[in-house]
Structure 1
Amino acid sequence: MARRFEELEIWQEARELHRVIWGEFKECREFAFRDQIRRAALSVMNNIAEGFERRTPKDFAHFLDLAKGSCGEVRS
């Protein structure tokens, strides 16, 4: 079992998603769109971390659901 959220494979993948999104939209001139997609990608990573730190399975599941929603926002 992970002791820190950074050890979670899903958090590591979310971090990579954020890194890729940040780089891919670096030159985007549609600033509102760029900022929204970057925030959504960051939200995936942050919700996983916050849920893990809550330490109750119910809270963790809730934050994973929020992360999934943010992931859907990035995909759309």
Structure 2
Amino acid sequence: MDFEKLDVWQRSKSLAVQIYRGFQDCRDYGFRDQLGRSALSIPSNIAEGMERGSGKEKCHYLRIAKGSCAELRTQLMIGSEIGYVPDSLAAAWIQETRELSRMLSGLINRISG
């Protein structure tokens, strides 16, 4: 399965780009770095997992990507509460992380089933 054709990879890559662009001027470097690393981890782990040989290995990396979705969602919630992310943008990005997480669960179930 070519990871670049997976909708979950394409959408997570797009979200990572949006996060990087959205925070490029953020002066809180620690927050920006952590948010960027979480966002980048999602498509990166999907790609790495899908290039692995066994279904067990694939699922391992997909679960890491799913965990990064939760991490990113948490950081976006905090960013919204402290005023770093406009509420409407945070809501859209948070919703996208929820959808990506569901998509990853489906892919994990399909591979492990």
TM (normalized to structure 1)? 0.91
Shift of 1:15: 0.4
Shift of 1:10: 0.8
Query: Which structure is richer in relative contact order (CA contacts within 8 A, separation 6 or more)?
Result: 1
Among 33, 42, 45, the alignment partner of 1:44 is 42
Shift of 1:55: 2.9
Unaligned runs of 5+ in 1: none
State the alpha-carbon separation in 2 of the partners of residues 39 and 23 from structure 1.
13
Q: Secondary structure at the match of 2:51?
A: helix
Shift of 1:47: 0.4
Question: Aligned residues, how many?
Answer: 74
Structure index of larger Rg: 2
Unaligned runs of 5+ in 2: 75-113
State the alpha-carbon separation in 1 of the partners of residues 7 and 14 from structure 2.
11
TM (normalized to structure 2)? 0.63
Q: Secondary structure at the match of 2:25?
A: coil
Among 4, 7, 12, the alignment partner of 2:5 is 7
Q: Structure 1 residues 8 and 55 mapped into 2: Cα distance closer, same or farther (>3 Å)?
A: farther
Q: Percent identity?
A: 47
Among 23, 28, 41, the alignment partner of 1:25 is 23
State the alpha-carbon separation in 2 of the partners of residues 19 and 55 from structure 1.
28
Partner of 2:92: none
- What is the root-mean-square deviation of aligned Cα atoms in Å? 0.9
Q: Secondary structure at the match of 1:54?
A: coil
State the alpha-carbon separation in 2 of the partners of residues 9 and 59 from structure 1.
20
